[in-house]
Structures are given as structure tokens and as C-alpha cells.
Structure 1
């Protein structure tokens, strides 16, 4: 259970850091690239079993890491945009209510339990995503709803594929190097995008973007490591683990947004938060 607790704490830290990106005018793409380089380095330095980098492609989990690396870059960018435009609490809810996606696939692929309570919880969560993401003070044409929806879908796909690859292809000793590899792949994709952007409009990298990337990379690495280690716990259904993980992150992130960033909630947002927690509780009890 300690792995699950640590994953919750480090994941919550990501949302808070992204909020500061907007406050300090951090270049999101540059910081994300640095973040992945840091996480990649940590993965290989802390690995229990060393594998030469040039032989990584021979590992059974390589193509899963390749897909996840590409998804990580996309979802992290969307997460940063959501935190800046919609707030920390909305970002955590949109991202973490995506638990309905891995829960659904857990039921289909791994024959995990299904009941009226679990289905009801999933429906509550879907409604909560919309209500908690509505910002009545902004024009939805400017992407107020777009980023939360993209974050919801992307996060769900990542959790689902991560569980599938971890279950079928990743040895317990390779958790760190697997994580480091997908971070490295994400860094490569990010560098390509950044290179294209720089060719069109050359500009300095900036020390603050490097520092922001380092600050993001450390908790990002540990959030994935501890989540995978929690998934390795036997006799613990992934649908239950994901729901506990996600509701805790929602609650903690919401409290942080309200207490430290003075974020304001409309009545719809408040209802969304309540439904989010209720939905997750129903799934967990089921």
C-alpha cells in the first residue's frame, strides 16, 4: 500500500508544478523535454538490471514503451494547458476520472469483477468530467472544454496500455529501466517537435525552463515507478487500484487548488467534484 500512497503524492505534485508553469511563464514544451531527459536518466541509473541502450529494442516491452512515450508527450502538453486554463483541480479531475477507461478494459481483458455499483460509479464519473470541467467565466470556444476532454481520453489510454504491458511483458526487475525507456522515447519525440519549432522561430532555451523541467522530471519518474510497483501487487484488481489512486489524487489536488491557489468553483464544478468522489467510491466498494 505504501507504493500506492507514494504514487498519489508524486502525481499530485505534477499538477501543482504545472500550475506554477503558468504563473512563471514557463515554456511548456521545453520544460517537458527536459523533464523526460531527467526521468530517462533516473530510470537507467536506478535500474536493478542493466540493459545496454542499443539493445533496448530487443526487449518484449519495447513497442509498448514506444507507444507510451509518444502518448506521454501529447498528454503532458495537454495536462499543462489544462492546468493553466482550467486550474489544478479541474486538471486532476479530467485526468483522473479517465479511470473509467482502464476499469472497462480490466473487466473485458482480465475478467475483473463487475456489478451494478461499479457501473453506476463509472456513469457518475463520466458526468463528473463534464460538470467539473465547465468554466462559466470563459468562452468554451477558446478550448475550455477541449483540453479536459483530451486529457480524459489520453490519460485513460495511457493507464490501460501501461497495465497491459506491465502485466504481459515487464519483469519485476525491469520496472525502472522500462520506465526510463519510455521516458527516453518521449524525450526523443519532444526533441523532434522542439527542433521543428525552433527552425521556424529560433529562440534561447532559457535557464528557468531547464530548472522547471528538472523539478517536473523527478516526481514524474517516481509517480510512474510507484504506480507500476503497486500494479504488481498480487490479488489486487487493477480497477480497484486505479480508482483508489485516482480519487485520492482528485481530492488532494482539489484541496491544493482551493487552499493555495484560491481557485473558485461554480455550482456545476462543485457538483462535479462530489459526483467524481461518489463515482470512485462506488467503484471501489464494488
Structure 2
């Protein structure tokens, strides 16, 4: 359970850092690229075994790592566009409601337990995520540019599902650090290519604040994936239960920190959502 709590804490910090990116005028793509480079180097640094490139290239999970590299860059970009064009509430709802995808996959693929109590907890979790995230002033934007939230929904769900599948089918426990570092390396390579293309087309500045912000984000981002994989590796916690608790808790904690740190206004529906989130976590955990 400690790994799950650490994953929730790290993932929540990512939202806070993106909020600070906007506050201090840090280019999101620049910060994301530096973040992936930092996460990769940090993963290699803490890996306590010899690094053999040939073993990595021939590892059974290498193609999954390449695919996740593309997904990481793509989904982060879609998340930014969704937040800019549809609003933060729509982006939050679309990304966190995607928990249903890995939950269904875990039940179908691994024959994880399913019953009335778990179904009720999952349904309450989806309701809680929606109520905790929605903002009345943005409700009119939900039908505008609908393809972005839909892509974000399926993209986030695909990432979570892919991580679970690779961890179960191909990844030894001691392979988590090098796998995470490899995924971040591919994501960095793809992001760097995008930055080079932009720099060729026009004059391009890369301020020091983007490097500092991206480096901080990178370390936290690494641990969000590392601890999620460690939590998934725990035999006593089904992935359907884990993803439900993880996503709902992130929304709940992020909402509360938004009030405390950024003085965001929370409506009655938001508070009801937070209360339902706590109930759903208890129900799913006890199931």
C-alpha cells in the first residue's frame, strides 16, 4: 500500500508543477522534454546493476517501451490542448474517468474478482471524479472540440492498461527501473525531435527556467511511474482495485491542494464529489 500512496503523491505533484509552469510562463513542451531526459538519467543513476545496451534492445518489453514513449508525448500534448481549448475541468474528467479501461481489462484479462460491491465502488468512483472536477463556468465547453477529450480518455486509459500488461507479462521485479528509464528515453527522443523541427522553422529560445522546471518534473514523474509499477507488482492488490483507488485519490488530493495552495473555488458539487470519492475508495478496498 505504501507504493500506491507514493504513486498518488508523485502524480498529484505533477499537476501542481504544470500549474506552476503556467504561472511562471514555462513552455509546456520544453518542460516536458527536459522532464523526460531527467527521468531517464535519474532512472539509470539509481539502477544498481550493469547497464548493457544489447540486453535492453533485445528485452521482451522493448517494443512496449517504444509504444509507451509515443503515448507519453502524445497524451501529454493532447492533455495540454484539452486544457487550453476545453478547460481544466474537462481535461481532468477525461483523463481520470479513463480508469474504467484498465479496470475492465484487469477483470477480463486476469480474471480479477468482480461483484456488486466492486461494481458499485467503480461506478461511485466515476461519479466522484466527475463531480470533484466539474466547474460550472466550463460546462458549456464540453461539446466543443469533443475529439480532444475523447482522445485523452482513450490515451490515458491505454497507457495505464499497457503498463499493467507489460508489468505482468514481461517485466521482472528488478527490471522496473531500467524499463521506466527506457520509456522516458524514447519519450525524450520523440519530444526532442519535435523541438528541433520547431527550431528549424523559426527562432527558438530555451530559457533556463524551462530546464529547472523540467528537471524537477522529471524526478517526480519518474517516481510516479516507478511506484505505480511497484504497486502493480504487489500480489495482494488487484489492478482493478489499484487503478480505481489511484485515480480517485489523485483527483481528491489535487482538488484539496488546489483550494489550499492556489485558492481555487470549490462548489457544492465538488465537495459532494470528494465525499463520494472517499466512500468509493473504502468500498473498492474492502471488496
Residue 199 of structure 1 corresponds to 200
Structure 1 contact 33–191 (Cα < 8 Å) conserved: yes
Q: Alpha-carbon deviations, 1:114-141, whole Å to 9, x = none?
A: 1122223333344455555544324517
Residue 167 of structure 1 corresponds to 168
- Report deviation, 1:10: 1.1
Moved segments of 4+, more than 6 Å? none
- Does 1:223 find its partner at 2:186? no
Moved more, 39-48 or 141-150: 141-150
Distance in 2 of aligned mates of 1:276 and 1:218: 28
Distance in 2 of aligned mates of 1:29 and 1:285: 41
Q: Alpha-carbon deviations, 1:206-262, whole Å to 9, x = none?
A: 111111110100100011111111111123211122222223222211110111112
- Report deviation, 1:198: 2.3
Residue 52 of structure 2 corresponds to 52
Q: Alpha-carbon deviations, 1:24-75, whole Å to 9, x = none?
A: 1111111100000000111112113333335422100101111111111122
- Does 1:124 find its partner at 2:124? yes
How do residues 177-192 of structure 1 correspond to structure 2 at under 5 angstroms?
A: 177-192=178-193
The SS at the match of 1:251 is helix
- Report deviation, 1:183: 0.3
Residue 64 of structure 2 corresponds to 64
Residue 8 of structure 1 corresponds to 8
Distance in 2 of aligned mates of 1:244 and 1:278: 11
Structure 2 contact 44–177 (Cα < 8 Å) conserved: yes
Say if 1:156 and 1:131 are closer, same or farther in 2 by CA, change over 3 A. same
- Count of aligned residue pairs for this structure pair: 285
Structure 2 contact 122–244 (Cα < 8 Å) conserved: no
Say if 1:198 and 1:227 are closer, same or farther in 2 by CA, change over 3 A. same
Say if 1:29 and 1:83 are closer, same or farther in 2 by CA, change over 3 A. same
How do residues 266-277 of structure 1 correspond to structure 2 at under 5 angstroms?
A: 266-277=267-278
Structure 2 contact 117–283 (Cα < 8 Å) conserved: yes
Distance in 2 of aligned mates of 1:149 and 1:265: 25
Q: What's the Cα RMSD here?
A: 2.7
Distance in 2 of aligned mates of 1:177 and 1:280: 31
Say if 1:148 and 1:284 are closer, same or farther in 2 by CA, change over 3 A. farther
Distance in 2 of aligned mates of 1:92 and 1:140: 13
Please, which runs of 5 or more residues in structure 1 have no aligned partner? none
